Chains A and B, each alone.
Chain A
Amino acid sequence: MGDVNATYASLSDKLFIATIVLYAVAMLGYALEYAFGRRAVKAEAKVLAGAGGPDVTEEETAGGHVNERAERLGITMNQANRAGQVALVLTWIGAVLHAACLVLRAVSVGRVPWGNMYEFIIAVVLVGVCTWLYVVTAGHAARRIGLFVTLVAILLLGTATRLYTEAQPLVPALNSYWIAIHVTAAVIASGIFMVGFVPAALQLIRRRYDTVTAKGGRLRFPITLGARLPEVANLERLVFKLHVFAFPLWTFGVIAGAVWAERAWGRYWGWDPKEVWSFIAWVVYAGYLHARATGPGGRRLAPWIVILGWLTMIVNLFGINLVVTGLHSYAGV
């Protein structure tokens, strides 16, 4: 009992750094594609033209520059799009290293790799990145949106470095097969909520962009980002899909947590701070699903509720683990 394999543990730490670096480079690639890649409008033109004869306009524009700034920098649309391709490949490699980082942690301590907050965040981000890779591979979102997903991923992983905890076996309260059930469900749901938050925020930006441009008003950052974002309806559908998947998982995670709490602490629900905020997040996300079914007013509100939901998740992760003391204080910091 209690043996930690130091070689694997330190290798895991190195992989963690490599993962962050890869995601950062990938983010740069996505950013290049986002800024200087082919316009969404052009892509639609291609589809239309593609049905007919050879795609002349596409050939012409692809080698050209998207705007004056791109020309000044000497970045053609082709190059920018290739940067996006490279970014996606780097994200894949990053995800593999990321997974290896967790697996080595697990091997080095002989348990599931989410026994403290550092590991929990790494796992959540891995699920987020994998979800994103699925979304982009299945064609549910444009590749360049990876810019925002990798941004969130890097921010969270960056926070994890501040919470670094040595690889260690579990404390007795966590030493149960229920950790594999309850925490895994929480990790997967959190990861998908994380990715679901991104298109919700983008949806708001795009919506604002549409309103402002329709009125002919002046655009300011971050609303200017809206020019390269997918249609509101597409983003909205993606948000819904992700949450329809994550919400039942979160529900299951909370229920599994209650079953475990009964075993470990004698009661299935005791309003421990973590339990309170899991409940709040559940209620908020349930509110999102209901708001979406409540006509146009509710639909307008829905992305805001998703943002609120992700905020409750963040409070639950950071606020409750680091500020408040409760039964779930396993942060290890």
Chain B
Amino acid sequence: MTVDAPPRPAKGKKSPRAVSLARKWWGQLTSMRTALILLFALAVAAVPGSILPQRSVNVENVGKYFTDHPQAAPIMDRLWLFDVYSAPWFAAIYGLLFVSLVGCLIPRLREHVDAIRRRPPDAPARLSLMPQHDEWESGAGAAKLAGVLKARRFRVETREHADGSVTVSGEKGYLRETGNLIFHFALLGLLVGVAVGALYGWHGNRILGAGADAAFCNNLQQYDDYGLGPNISAADLPKFCVQLDGFKAEYLDNGQPVTYAADVLYGEGGEAPTEKFHLEVNEPLRMGAANLYLLGQGYTPVLTYTDAQGNTQVSRTPFLPMNASMLSEGVATFPDANLSATGQRDRTRQMAFEGMFLPTAPEQAPYTTSLFPDSRNPGVMLFPYVGDLGLDNGKPGSVYALDRRQVATGQLKPMQVGFFLKQGESKTLEDGSTVTFTGLERWITVQARSDPGEPVVLWSAIAVLAGLLPSLTVKRRRVWFRVRGDNVTAGGLARTENPGFATEFGDIVASAKET
């Protein structure tokens, strides 16, 4: 180990052109000016994501935008305008910003570590040239003057000089740069945390109906939609099962919701769901390896269909709410209606009901709107269809809506005009079959999610704040005394903007004079 730094390579030696060019660009990139420009570029780049629909926020809206703007949307999509925050140009901006940050921080870190390890520098030759200075006669001596600074928590160094004078150097406010460095490194920490979450996190959303039959266990087939980080596979998903036991919503008289609360049962590590939990919007279920959130809720009208041959089937398909009054739309399908004599599905005589559910139906027609979100007078408006439901043609379809392609091709036809049923009522159709609105069930939308980056992000955010405060409020300053016999000179230098320094220096000098 040597104390002296190794000699630098002689400047006169020609460095290759490329190296000097790279050095020049590196200097440019790590300058504060560039950082500022990148900062503003980042702000501007974030704007389109708040105006245009984003896939990460709402996929349906992106689809709608494509239908509304068939010309522009594909071009915009190629520019990543529907995935702004995962766009390469967005990543380029913050990537450069963070590179610039690191380039700026590393030298500053080295400098600051040096400054902390070094003793406060000796007094300049002429303290009367300092922005703050004073001179007086006193026999107090250097030790007492040093005591004044120490009492004010300055870092103090006393030096004796060959000419018999003694200097006292004090410096304070190192925390400013410490905080500054913590703040900026914590921003890097945030980025790391976000990256960990993106690589190793996963989530899945699904509708969960009430009862043991509707319970689900954590695997991808069980989710309506899901997202997996690139470093995690379906096999890595933790084991847990969840069952909805009951759901309750409370509303004000004007229909504004006040509470949504679901009672769920869960079991971890492959156990049956027996543990109870009261799930609310702001009260997620925190299991060991994943969290479960309550995101939405709705109704399932239970419809019983008895075909002309007397065979009965029950449909329990969730209806999806369309507005705040919980007017919901959905479909009830009966693929096994009108089976052939041999028990085969008859693809010309399958049955479906497209419908609207009204939790509080008006007393008389038109039954197009719900008066209240709670189920005070539940009713369904049903439109029967007969024909091929398109379930067996191999194409993926939604279970919450009719396959419009089947309707368009005429393979699935409206059977008769729509009709309205209150809970408990039945209707006999033209072919002699009957449909009954037998009951009402509740469902909830849950999201299961795991984001292993969260602790990193949280601690980085705390460090951001912890670093920010001293970096803005602490002031770095130096104060010196020089003692020559009974003559004392004092000087002060604020190393950062510090309008109150003159007052502080005055106070220090006043207490120094008293000792």
Contacts and interface: CB of A to CB of B under 8 A. Distances in A.
Interface residues of A, number: 51
A312 B44 CA distance: 11
Nearest to A255: B461
A270 B462 CA distance: 19
Among all A-B residue pairs, the 10 with the closest Cβ atoms? A176-B282, A266-B293, A276-B50, A273-B50, A283-B43, A172-B281, A255-B461, A2-B252, A280-B43, A266-B447
Given A178-B282, A255-B465, 14 more contacts: A2-B252, A169-B258, A172-B257, A172-B281, A173-B282, A251-B465, A260-B282, A267-B203, A268-B454, A283-B46, A287-B43, A289-B472, A298-B36, A326-B57
A270 B57 contact: yes
Contacts of B293: 264-266
16 contacts: A175-B259, A175-B282, A176-B282, A237-B499, A248-B465, A251-B464, A264-B281, A265-B295, A266-B295, A271-B84, A272-B57, A279-B46, A287-B40, A287-B43, A290-B35, A294-B33
A287 B291 CA distance: 37
B365 interface: no
A286 interface: yes
A62 interface: no
Contacts of B253: 2
B39 A287 contact: yes
Interface in A191-242: 237
A255 B459 CA distance: 11
Contact of B36 (A178, A262, A290, A326): A290
B200 to A, nearest CB: 14
A247 B46 CA distance: 20
A291 interface: yes
Nearest to B205: A266
A207 to B, nearest CB: 19
Interface in B29-50: 32-33, 35-36, 39-40, 42-43, 46-47, 49-50
A298 B473 CA distance: 20
B449 A267 contact: yes
Contacts of B454: 262, 268
Contact of A169 (B56, B252, B458): B252
Contacts of A298: 32, 36
B284 A284 contact: no
B280 A172 contact: yes
B260 interface: yes
A280 B282 contact: no
A264 B83 CA distance: 24
Interface of A: 1-2, 168-173, 175-176, 178, 237, 244, 247-248, 251-252, 255, 258-260, 262-273, 276-277, 279-280, 283-284, 286-287, 289-291, 293-294, 298, 312, 320, 324, 326
Given A2-B252, A172-B259, A266-B291, A244 B39 contact: no
B54 interface: yes
Interface string B75-102: 0000000001100000000000000000
The listed residue with most B CB atoms (<10 A of its CB), out of A1, A247, A312, is: A1
B202 to A, nearest CB: 12
Contact of B46 (A170, A251, A276, A320): A276
Contacts of A279: 43, 46
Contacts of B56: 270-271
A289 B291 CA distance: 38
A175 B46 contact: no
B473 A244 contact: yes
Nearest to A256: B461
Contacts of B51: 324
A251 B461 CA distance: 9
B32 A267 contact: no
A262 B447 CA distance: 12
A280 B45 CA distance: 9
Contacts of B415: none
A294 B258 contact: no
Contact of A258 (B32, B36, B461): B461
Interface in B448-475: 449, 451, 454, 457-458, 461-462, 464-465, 468-469, 472-473
A290 B250 contact: no
Contact of B54 (A173, A175, A271, A291): A271
A247 B447 CA distance: 34
Given A1-B258, A280-B46, A248 B281 contact: no
A244 B499 CA distance: 14
B36 A294 contact: yes
A1 B258 CA distance: 8
A169 B256 contact: yes
Contacts of B47: 276, 280
Contacts of A324: 50-51
